[in-house]
Amino acid sequence: MPKLTIDRRQVEVPPGATILDAARKLGVDIPTLCFLEGYEPSTSCLVCMVKITGQNRLVPACGTAAVEGMEIESETEEVHQVRRTALELLLSDHLGDCLAPCQFSCPAQMDVPLMLRQIAAGDLHEAIVTVKRDIALPAVLGRICPAPCEKVCRRKDADDAVAICLLKRYVADVDLATGKPYSPQCPPPTAKRVAIVGAGPTGLAAAYYLARQGHASMIFDENPQPGGRLRSETTPAELPRDVLDAEIRTITRLAVELHADTRVGEQPSLGDLGDRFDAVLVAGGASAAGQAEAWGLPVAKRGIQVESETFRTGVQGVFAAGNAIRGKGLVIRSAADGKQAAVAIDQFLRGLEVTGPQKPFSTKIGRMEKEEVALMSAGAADAPRREPAGGLKTGFSPQEAAEQAARCMHCDCRALHSCKLREYAARYHADPRRYRAARRTFQQDTRHPQVIYESGKCIDCGLCIRIASAAGEALGLTFVGRGFDVRLGVPLDGSLADALQKVAAECVAACPTAALAWKDK
């Protein structure tokens, strides 16, 4: 039985094993896209490349036999660069949005498409869980947010944008009306305490997301009631106060203590808070920015100066966010700042490197032609956008909400959390724009009853062809065309439904890029 080393760790494998087999025995995760256990390797994707030390050559781990005495390098910068290049070449021809445009344009990065699918299915509990994963005050924002997400909704290029903001409000209103609104399950208390200056959208959101990490917060606000500009810059007609108060209660019932009529300055001073608490977040809006110099904080043109990704000021343990650093911004931007600052503060409290929120990897289709939009919208409900029959004050009925949510075109990837191409691209910091060429035309095949095929996402790995052939599918799948124009197809101009009568599930599970995916995901 041959013995070899991978990254200076020895392993023994049976005769006929590959370098990939040896790596997996050691627990070394070598990426693969075109390899599937039980099938002959095609070595086409080249993301499993490793280096044979001494021979100074790179080989695909999935198709190279393990030999006695081999010394392999897998986790070096040189090997990572080769894998990164292979991924970037695949991404250069990849046509698909990992995240939908609406999610990208939302400052809080809420998973809008998932919420819409949950509403359409009538699963309102899961919908509020989705919403509150990123937005702490959805009933409030559902009334006053200018809806940047709707401005980029692709449905508006077909007829009208999906009513995202009203639907978010609908979910939150239904939740509040239960009398027992959703409260996240928080981890055990960490014994860390954070002082938050300001009970506006930034401070409230930060307290909510800190509580979700197990940290207690104490909010200090100079006003008699919490809410900040949510209360001072809106009318009761725009934002009913019972709604505002109810959503604030969903936050303060967590590990959050509120001190109203308390102006941070002399009693307590910012220094006092720094001494008494493990971290401080300045979230008092533009008025806090005006006091920053007196507090000993650096000031920039718009407000308190911070590191853009981490919200750290120049004072150890002190962070600032919202209009305290921006001067003036959308309420959704302020709430998003609170959530993102909470991530950085959590990292600080745990003694980790403070980097702020991780930016999600995503490829982007970009602007689509009308014909492409029409094709993408074919799977969405044909209903026009409608305002609530009972008026905006009343909001959508359950039937209206389900109908309007079903108008979503599902721009996001159906296999967002299982796409191996996206996973590895993020791991190796691949740049999808490095080798960008003229993009393909968007196409999708919806003729199979359960499966959708998007050719622009296919990397020609051939796994589905081999699976269908091994299962004895009558037609199966094949490659059609030549050179760079090779594409997956069905022989004899058959349909996907004809090709995958037995192994649709196996092919969807094996597809590394969601070119083949379930329609209902």
Which domains are seen in the chain, by residue range? 3-75 (3.10.20.740), 101-181+365-405 (no CATH), 193-349 (3.50.50.60), 440-518 (3.30.70.20)
Using DSSP's 3-state secondary structure scheme, residue 31 falls into coil
Spatial CA neighbour of 238 closest among 331, 328, 136: 331
pLDDT of 2: 92
pLDDT of 480: 87
Query: Are 157 and 373 within 8 A, CB to CB?
Result: yes
The three-point CA angle 90-91-97 to 5° equals 140
pLDDT of 437: 81
Burial 476-494 (b: 16+ CB within 10 A, else e): bbeeeeeeeeeebbbeeee
CA–CA gap between residue 284 and residue 289 (Å, rounded): 8
CA–CA gap between residue 283 and residue 276 (Å, rounded): 18
AA identity, residue 26: L
DSSP string over 74-91: -SSHHHHHHHHHHHHHHH
> Which residues on neighbouring strands pair with residue 194, listed in sequence order?
217, 279
pLDDT of 386: 95
DSSP secondary structure code for residue 140 in this structure: H
CA–CA gap between residue 154 and residue 236 (Å, rounded): 33
pLDDT of 68: 95
Query: Are 321 and 202 within 8 A, CB to CB?
Result: yes
Extended beta strands in 245-348, E state: 256-259, 279-282, 318-320
pLDDT of 359: 92
State both tokens at 130. Answer: 């989705």
Query: Are 188 and 255 within 8 A, CB to CB?
Result: no
Tell me the Cα Rg of the chain.
27
State both tokens at 136. Answer: 């702490």
> Which residues on neighbouring strands pair with residue 81, listed in sequence order?
none
Between the alpha carbon of residue 495 and those of residues 63, 124, 376, 471, the distances in Å are 33, 36, 18, 18
**pLDDT one-digit tens code per residue, 70-102:** 999 999 999 999 999 999 999 999 999 999 999
Using DSSP's 3-state secondary structure scheme, residue 473 falls into coil
Spatial CA neighbour of 206 closest among 246, 264, 254: 254
State both tokens at 304. Answer: 């308190």
AA identity, residue 204: L
Using DSSP's 3-state secondary structure scheme, residue 52 falls into strand
Phi-psi region of 160 (alpha: psi -120 to 50; beta: other; left: phi over 0): beta
Between the alpha carbon of residue 197 and those of residues 215, 264, 325, the distances in Å are 16, 7, 13
pLDDT of 272: 93
CA–CA gap between residue 389 and residue 490 (Å, rounded): 47
DSSP secondary structure code for residue 384 in this structure: P
The number of angstroms, rounded, from the C-alpha of 379 to the middle of its chain's C-alpha atoms is 23
Q: Taking the chain (521 residues) in consecutive chunks of 10 residues, what is each chunk's mean pLDDT?
A: 95 96 96 95 95 92 96 97 97 94 96 98 97 98 96 95 98 96 95 97 98 97 95 96 97 94 87 95 85 86 93 96 93 97 98 96 94 92 95 94 97 94 97 90 92 94 95 91 80 90 96 93 80
DSSP string over 234-269: S-TTTS-HHHHHHHHHHHHTTTEEEE-S--SSSTT-
Between the alpha carbon of residue 506 and those of residues 121, 466, 488, 521, the distances in Å are 26, 11, 17, 16
DSSP secondary structure code for residue 331 in this structure: H
